[in-house]
Every structure is written in structure tokens, then in C-alpha cells.
Amino acid sequence: MHLKSLTLKGFKSFASATTLRLEPGITCVVGPNGSGKSNVVDAISWVLGEQGAKALRGGKMEDVIFAGTSGRAPLGRAEVTLTIDNSDGALPIEYSEVSITRRMFRDGAGEYEINGSACRLLDIQELLSDSGIGREMHVIVGQGQLDSVLQSRPEDRRAYIEEAAGVLKHRKRKEKALRK
Ligand code: ATP
Ligand code: MG
């Protein structure tokens, strides 16, 4: 399983539809300051369901929608599609390629799709829960985050390990069941 492509449309500085093709192995994105490198990483967090504006380096969720420049009017919606190569069947779904789309409008309305069919965020989270991507997003290591892992309290560090081991999903399900 590997990330195959990422398409951004109206997401942050990417006003026009832009597709990045990703190969297996390491991909480097290089560019001058402010050219949108971190926005690409934000797009991956966002399409996988990130709900916090701060985690996306904005003040409110609407800040992910292209806000306009001197030469270009603001847009009404942001859309990101992440395509994952699933030819090894790592994701529990009968497709060799899985596209996840998230769309958001200025009024706050949003939608998710798996391979073009509307779904809930929960469906995406379940699909990815054993894959090592998604949910708590510890696969995206931001600047300074390594320090916070090293300096975290033992309980928090345990949560990181449990997530990596795939135990967290079962713990969350158990907690939910006990609340009922
Ligand atoms: P650095 O090398 O400094 O880390 P970077 O390549 O990571 O830079 P980003 O932080 O990804 O750059 O991009 C910042 C740019 O994105 C800024 O110019 C900012 O104005 C623009 N930007 C962010 N949100 C929006 C938005 N909603 N609409 C338009 N432009 C936006
Ligand atoms: Mg950056």
C-alpha cells in the first residue's frame, strides 16, 4: 500500500486543480518559503478527517478554502482527493485503488466520499484504522512534534504505542460500548 496521488482544488493556496503523483519510496517536495509545501501536508491531514483548524495552521476551518489573491477571486469550496494504491489488499475493501475525497463549502457544510460514493468520516476512519494512517495522525510528524513525544508523560506515550499497535481502536470501541 502506498499513497498514489493527491489532488487539491481550492485548498489553501492551490486555487486551480493540482495533482501530485507519488511513487513508492520517498517523495520530496521542495520550493521557496511560502510556496505551499506545508499546505500539501495539511491537505493530507484534512482529507483524512482532521477537525481542528489549529492543526491545519488556521484560525477557523473555513481558512482551508482558497481566500483569493490580488489577481484571483476567493473560491467557495475546497476539495482534496487522496488516492491510495491498495493492490496488496492492505485496506479491507475490494478495490485495488481507493480514493478518499473531502469537500467543504463556505457555509461549513462538508462531505466525504470513498471511490466517488458519499460516506461518513467514520467509514473512512474504519477503513484506515489498521493501516497506520488516519485518525490521530501520528504518521504526520510536524515540526517540534518529535520533542513532544520524547517529553510526553508515560500515559501519553503509551497511547502512541497503542495506536501504532492497533490497540487504540478496540479501546475506543470498548469505551463507547461501556457508555451505552
Ligand atoms: P515554508 O518553507 O516557509 O515552510 P511553505 O512552502 O511550507 O513555506 P505554506 O505554509 O505551505 O508554505 O504556504 C503558505 C502560503 O499559503 C502563504 O502564502 C499563504 O498566504 C497561503 N495560504 C494559506 N491559506 C490560504 C488560503 N486559504 N487561501 C490562499 N492562500 C493561502
Ligand atoms: Mg512549511
Confidence of residue 92 (pLDDT cuts 50, 70, 90): very high
pLDDT at 143: 66
ipTM for the predicted complex: 0.98
By most ligand atoms within 8 Å of CB, the mutation choice from 9, 35, 106 for ligand 1 is: 35
Q: Which residue has the higher pLDDT, 106 or 143?
A: 106
For residue 21, list its beta bridge partners: 5
Grid coordinates 491531514 are at which residue? 45
pLDDT at 123: 94
Q: Which of 168, 169, 148 is nearest to 158 (CA)?
A: 168
Q: Which of 178, 2, 6, 173 is nearest to 81 (CA)?
A: 6
pLDDT at 137: 52
CA of 87 to the centre of ligand 2 (A): 32
pLDDT tens figures, 43-90: 999 999 988 898 888 999 999 999 999 999 999 999 999 999 999 999
For the cut 90, the answer to whether the pLDDT of residue 15 exceeds it is yes
CA of 48 to the centre of ligand 2 (A): 19
Length of the chain: 180
- C-alpha–C-alpha distance, residues 54 and 45, integer Å: 12
pLDDT at 111: 97
Q: Which atom of ligand 1 is nearest to the CA of 42?
A: 11
Per-residue pLDDT averaged across 134-160, rounded? 77
pLDDT at 158: 86
**Residue 15, C-alpha cell as written in the block:** 486555487
CA of 34 to the centre of ligand 1 (A): 5
Instruction: Kindly identify the ligand whose nearest atom is closest to the C-alpha of 31.
Output: 1
CA of 32 to the centre of ligand 1 (A): 11
Q: Which residue has the higher pLDDT, 54 or 22?
A: 22
pTM: 0.84
- Please list, in sequence order, all residues whose beta carbon lies within 8 angstroms of the beta carbon of residue 1, skipping any fewer than 6 positions away: 84, 85, 86, 88, 90, 91, 131
- C-alpha–C-alpha distance, residues 11 and 149, integer Å: 29
Per-residue pLDDT averaged across 158-163, rounded? 80
Grid coordinates 461518513 are at which residue? 120
Per-residue pLDDT averaged across 35-44, rounded? 94
pLDDT at 135: 55
- Phi/psi of residue 82, each to 5°? -110, 125
